[in-house]
């Protein structure tokens, strides 16, 4: 999918990770000693990858991000964090991973992206926002970066996020990006209805959904439809 804000993504996302980072770290705690392979889908600029690598210090991490602009920042973050011996970066989208990476995966994370790709048996309830909501406003040097989102419900009852990212300097608007992003709302019940026939269980872990298979020490972690905007 298109990411019109890819080059300024971290201006909007970094603050979120002061909250999301500890939540993800806590969800991964049971697998802290794993020596297996961790897969980070939709890794973006590497904010999630950094948490996975830190929380699973003995694991190899495969970090996948199809957008080239986001992936450039991802590689930079991997290098700057000193993770080059354990983290490999791939350009794969979620649909390509199964055929491209034919190996056992112990832990898989999919932060801020599952609604782009996940058809579920029963969608979570859809709710429209009456007005745009400002999800972040951050000043970096002379410029202020503001993000707005508004959830709309289309004729099929599915959610479409109307997004706007604006940059101002001295009160003047100097840049604006907009997008309409289809999104599948996923909650514990809807994801569970899809995955239970496969022998997978879904439980809440803070603001995250944790998917495990009985008798196996494997996990799949993705956000709930909680207070954090899933399409940031």
Of 89-93, 128-132, 134-138, the range with the lowest mean pLDDT is 128-132
Would residue 103 count as lying in a domain? yes
pLDDT digits (tens, 9 = 90+) for 175-198: 999 999 888 777 888 888 888 888
Of 4-13, 24-33, 139-148, 178-187, the range with the lowest mean pLDDT is 178-187
189 and 175 in a common domain: no
109 and 143 in a common domain: no
Query: What domain count does the chain have?
Result: 2
Would residue 55 count as lying in a domain? yes
Residue 102 burial (10 A CB sphere; 0-12, 13-18, 19+): exposed
In this prediction, residue 185 carries a pLDDT of: 76
Q: Among all chains, which residue has been given the structure tokens 């995966």? A: 105
109 is written with which tokens? 């994370």
Would residue 127 count as lying in a domain? no
191 and 167 in a common domain: no
Query: 149 - beta bridge partners?
Result: 133, 163
In this prediction, residue 136 carries a pLDDT of: 87
What is the residue-averaged pLDDT of the chain? 84
Domain residue limits at 157:
133-183
- pTM score, whole prediction: 0.85
173 and 96 in a common domain: no
**Residue closest to 51 by CA, chosen among 102, 104, 1, 111:** 111
Would residue 1 count as lying in a domain? no
């Amino acid at each position: 999918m298109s990411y019109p804000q890819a080059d300024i993504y971290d201006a909007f996302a970094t603050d979120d990770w002061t909250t999301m980072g500890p939540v993800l770290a806590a969800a991964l705690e049971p697998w802290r000693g794993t020596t297996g392979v961790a897969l980070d889908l939709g890794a973006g600029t590497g904010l999630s990858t950094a948490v996975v690598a830190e929380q699973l210090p003995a694991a190899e991490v495969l970090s996948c991000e199809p957008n080239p602009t986001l992936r450039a920042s991802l590689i930079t973050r991997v290098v700057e964090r000193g993770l080059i011996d354990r983290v490999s970066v791939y350009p794969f989208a979620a649909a390509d991973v199964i055929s491209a990476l034919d190996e056992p995966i112990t832990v898989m994370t999919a932060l801020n992206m599952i609604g782009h790709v996940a058809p579920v048996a029963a969608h979570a309830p859809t709710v429209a926002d009456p007005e745009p909501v400002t999800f972040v406003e951050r000043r970096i040097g002379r410029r202020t970066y503001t993000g707005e989102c508004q959830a709309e419900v289309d004729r099929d009852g599915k959610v479409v996020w109307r997004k706007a990212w604006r940059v101002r300097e001295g009160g003047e608007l100097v840049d604006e990006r907009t997008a309409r992003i289809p999104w599948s709302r996923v909650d514990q019940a809807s994801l569970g209805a899809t995955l239970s026939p496969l022998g997978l269980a879904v439980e809440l872990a803070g603001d995250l959904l944790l998917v495990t298979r009985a008798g196996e020490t494997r996990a799949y972690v993705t956000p709930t439809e909680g207070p954090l905007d899933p399409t940031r």
